[in-house]
């Protein structure tokens, strides 16, 4: 359903350079850019997931400035964009929050820039998003990507974005923007009129 979509950006557990499990540092631009993209495509909540209390504290300071501080009147569009933003400790907290809102567990979508067998393609997942009654949560990784333990709990595994070159190192901000545009684009929920 186009009105039950959620996005999460994972900072833990994440793969490090040597495939070890790490916590990545939060990037300020991710807060703003991804909130703005999510708000554009009608995503209900954008969860940033970090297990590090000091990182969550910094994020809350930044977000408070734009939601309630001087930033909220200086640039009200930022405030509007951040209305979809939530910071949580673990992925399970995001899942639980969605369950509380929707009274139903979300279907979870894994994403990665790495080519994998049996991944669902953009047009197939786009159809699922239109037809599925349950909420849908799309996960994006940081660092060197999300570990298998996250992929194991996912219902769908989305194909990587390819351009028309041999280079596949988009920023996560660009990857979220492009994939939301491919999956949702300008589709408007029309069940009131058409059903």
Cβ within 8 Å of residue 121, ≥6 positions away: 158, 159
Kindly indicate which of the ranges 30-38, 94-102, 136-144, 151-159 contains the residues binding a second copy, using the contact rule CB under 8 A: 30-38
Residue 40 as a binder of a second copy (CB under 8 A): the answer is: yes
Task: Report whether 158 contacts 120 (CB < 8 A).
Answer: yes
Give the angle subtended at the CA of 2 by the CAs of 191 and 32, to the nearest 5°.
145
Residue 192 as a binder of a second copy (CB under 8 A): the answer is: no
**Token pair of 98 as six digits:** 């969605």
Residue 164 as a binder of a second copy (CB under 8 A): the answer is: yes
Residue 77 as a binder of a second copy (CB under 8 A): the answer is: yes
Cis amide linkage into residue 180, ω under 30° from 0: no
Nearer to a second copy, 10 or 183 (CB): 183
Rounded Cα–Cα distance for residues 48 and 85 (Å): 8
Residue 177 as a binder of a second copy (CB under 8 A): the answer is: yes
Task: Report whether 7 contacts 177 (CB < 8 A).
Answer: no
Kindly indicate which of the ranges 93-101, 134-142, 149-157, 175-183 contains the residues binding a second copy, using the contact rule CB under 8 A: 175-183
Task: Report whether 43 contacts 4 (CB < 8 A).
Answer: no
Residue 53: exposure state from Cβ atoms within 10 A (0-12, 13-18, ≥19): exposed
State the minimum distance, in angstroms, from the CB of residue 120 to a second copy: 17
**Token pair of 147 as six digits:** 């570990």
Rounded Cα–Cα distance for residues 130 and 89 (Å): 30
Residue 37 as a binder of a second copy (CB under 8 A): the answer is: yes
State the minimum distance, in angstroms, from the CB of residue 93 to a second copy: 25
Residue 112 as a binder of a second copy (CB under 8 A): the answer is: no
State the minimum distance, in angstroms, from the CB of residue 76 to a second copy: 10
Contacting a second copy (CB under 8 A), which of 21, 25, 153, 174?
A: 174
Residue 2 as a binder of a second copy (CB under 8 A): the answer is: yes
Residue 50 as a binder of a second copy (CB under 8 A): the answer is: no
Residues at the contact surface with a second copy, assessed by CB under 8 A? 2, 29, 32-33, 36-37, 39-42, 77, 80-81, 161-165, 167-171, 173-178, 180-182, 184-189
């Amino acid at each position: 359903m186009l009105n039950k979509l959620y996005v999460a950006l994972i900072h833990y557990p994440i793969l490090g350079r040597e495939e070890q499990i790490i916590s990545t540092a939060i990037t300020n631009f991710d807060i703003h850019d991804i909130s703005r993209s999510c708000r554009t495509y009608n995503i209900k909540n954008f969860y940033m997931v970090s297990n590090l209390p000091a990182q969550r504290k910094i994020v809350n300071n930044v977000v408070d400035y734009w939601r309630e501080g001087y930033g909220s009147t200086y640039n009200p569009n930022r405030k509007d964009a951040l209305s979809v933003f939530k910071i949580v400790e673990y992925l399970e907290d995001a899942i639980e929050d969605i369950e509380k809102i929707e009274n139903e567990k979300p279907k979870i979508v894994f994403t990665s820039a790495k080519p994998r067998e049996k991944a669902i393609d953009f047009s197939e997942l786009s159809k699922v998003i239109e037809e599925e009654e349950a909420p849908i949560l799309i996960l994006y990784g940081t660092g060197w990507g999300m570990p298998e333990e996250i992929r194991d709990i996912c219902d769908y595994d989305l194909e990587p974005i390819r351009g028309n070159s041999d280079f596949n190192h988009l920023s996560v901000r660009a990857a979220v923007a492009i994939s939301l545009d491919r999956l949702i684009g300008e589709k408007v929920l029309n069940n009131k009129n058409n059903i």
